[in-house]
Amino acid sequence: MVRALLGDRPEITPVWFMRQAGRSLPEYRALRSRGTMLEACLDPALASEITMQPVRRHGVDAAIFFSDIIVPLALVGIDVEIAPGRGPVFSKPLRTAADIAATVAIDPALVVERGGAVADAVGRTTAMLADLSDERGEPIPLIGFAGAPFTLAAYLVEGGPSKDHMAARRLIHEDAPAWRDLTSWLAEVTGRFLALQIEAGASAGQLFDSWAGGLSPADYRSSVLPASVAALAHARSLPLPEGVDRLPLVHFGVGTGEILADMASADIDALGVDYRVPLDVARARIGRDLTLQGNLDPAMLYAPEPVRTAAVHEILTAGRAARAHVFNLGHGVPMDADPDAISAVVRTVHDWRAR
């Protein structure tokens, strides 16, 4: 997995899934029968066990740390809950410039000062992963992740999920200085959260921008990309462990077909592509020889086996256009997906050989 992210194409394409930790697994639901999502994310024993569940069940080539993009906001003291069936809900949305000024006055360093449970969970997970290996006999890595500043800002100014992110898009144009202050602060907060996971032992990191696809390319370039670049810089600036030349970073967004080249301009090693753009088309658009990650439509998990297998083979073939390919879904695992179908995709990927 790590070699592929850095551009060395292995004979067997590595595979992992966004949102593989939890949701669709009955063993996850059994563990999560009590307490809130935030409590689970900040319980080291629980978070590490949930992270390991899909590795054991599906035989994927990487673990993705069980957490949530709003965890760093909770760590710095912002009142937020993850409402079942809805998502992050904030008790005090940032409606005015004064609201934003009060928020950005919070010290981003609190993420690290109060992030001991996160570091503990990463350490526990990497220790468990050390006892496992992939089909090539290589250690299974842990991927850390964080939410991109725009997605976090969209939640904060709206107070929760939104279909069109109008509050964030409005703020970009209505009060550009306040928007810059907010996203610069969020870059510090979420960047430190990603760096915390890597310092604790994660072997790679992914910046996840759920809502960037709702922006025009011009707005993305001028008002969003700089903060994402700054967030990634926190991970890139970390001292490397002995024997490691470069730590792989992945940039992923949903509905980002028109801004793939912009996302690829960050200091990254791999670009995640959602299910709307074929990988060979994405390679032509980005203009850089990066590793590509993706991008099976999650709806294909419900398709008959021959249809699903053909779709997997088509994506693996398109992925040959890039220097290397990490197979994934083009978004997260749906909550009601059949775990057996997920495992079958892993087997199909591992059994495939490019002609």
**Structure letter (DSSP) for residue 219:** H
d(CA 53, CA 64): 11
174: Cβ contacts below 8 Å, ≥ 6 apart: none
Strands in the chain per DSSP E: 63-64, 80-83, 87-90, 142-147, 204-209, 249-253, 270-272, 291-293, 325-326
d(CA 308, CA 314): 10
Where b means 16+ CB within 10 Å and e means fewer, 305-331 reads eeebbebbeebbbbbbbbbbbbbbbbb
Structure tokens at 341: 């179908």
Annotated active-site positions, please?
19, 23, 32, 68, 155
Phi, psi angles (nearest 5°) of residue 98: -65, -40
| Owner of token pair 């526990």 | 124
